[in-house]
Amino acid sequence: MRHLLLLVLLPLSPAALAYSCSVASTPLLFGSVAGIAEQSHASTASVTVTCEAGASAASVGYSLYIDTDGSTSQSLRNGSGTAQYQLYTANGRQPILGSQAFASASYTLAAHASASRTYTVYARMQPGRQGSPGTYQGVNAIRLVY
């Protein structure tokens, strides 16, 4: 029985350890926004994916998602005040939805090699902010599936 179990596990092990990936991002900052509520403000953030092959060459494939609640509008909060913003891809301001990958890639890495790819996320704060002046914060989780 041990031999059979070992034969079943061997084909799975190399593929599981063929490569690893990590994700990092810069903060999305709107900076100081003047008190004119009918103006929209734009910003960008960078998302970098770094993948590294193990002892053998690897075919890398991944997709990036920003987890949202399913709507195209996100909220920044300061106590009871809110400011709405939307996240977009570079392609004609297509809204980013949590159920759809906003970036993906597939390529081959040589053994012990690594590669990084950087993607830009665009954001626009919507006019009509409600609330008092202050620091508004929000959090979006970036999900890397590989």
Strand order of the β-sheet with 58-67 is 103-109, 58-67, 141-145
What is the percent of the chain where pLDDT is above 90?
39
Return d(Cα 144, Cα 109) in angstroms, integer. 18
Confidence of residue 78 (pLDDT cuts 50, 70, 90): confident
Residue 102 contacts by C-beta under 8 Å, 6 or more apart in sequence?
64, 65, 66, 87, 89, 96, 119, 121
pLDDT tens-digit map of 103-141: 999 999 999 999 999 999 999 887 766 667 778 888 888
- Pick 97 or 24 by higher pLDDT: 24
Structural domain contains residue 94 = yes
Structural domain contains residue 34 = no
- Pick 98 or 11 by higher pLDDT: 98
Residue 112 contacts by C-beta under 8 Å, 6 or more apart in sequence?
52, 53, 54, 55
Range with the largest mean pLDDT of 6-10, 20-24, 84-88: 20-24
Q: Is 134 helix (H, G, I), strand (E, B) or coil?
A: coil
pLDDT, residue 38, reads: 66
Residue 10 contacts by C-beta under 8 Å, 6 or more apart in sequence?
none
- Pick 65 or 76 by higher pLDDT: 65
Structural domain contains residue 60 = yes
Q: Torsions phi, psi of 41, nearest 5?
A: -130, 145
Structural domain contains residue 2 = no
**Residue 70: which region, alpha, beta or left (left: phi > 0; alpha: psi -120 to 50)?**
left
- Domains of the chain: total: 1
Structural domain contains residue 35 = no
pLDDT, residue 130, reads: 66
- Domain of 140, in residue numbers: 15-26+40-145
Q: What is the DSSP letter of 70?
A: S
pLDDT tens-digit map of 48-66: 999 999 999 999 999 999 8
pLDDT, residue 48, reads: 97
Whole-model pTM over 0.75: yes
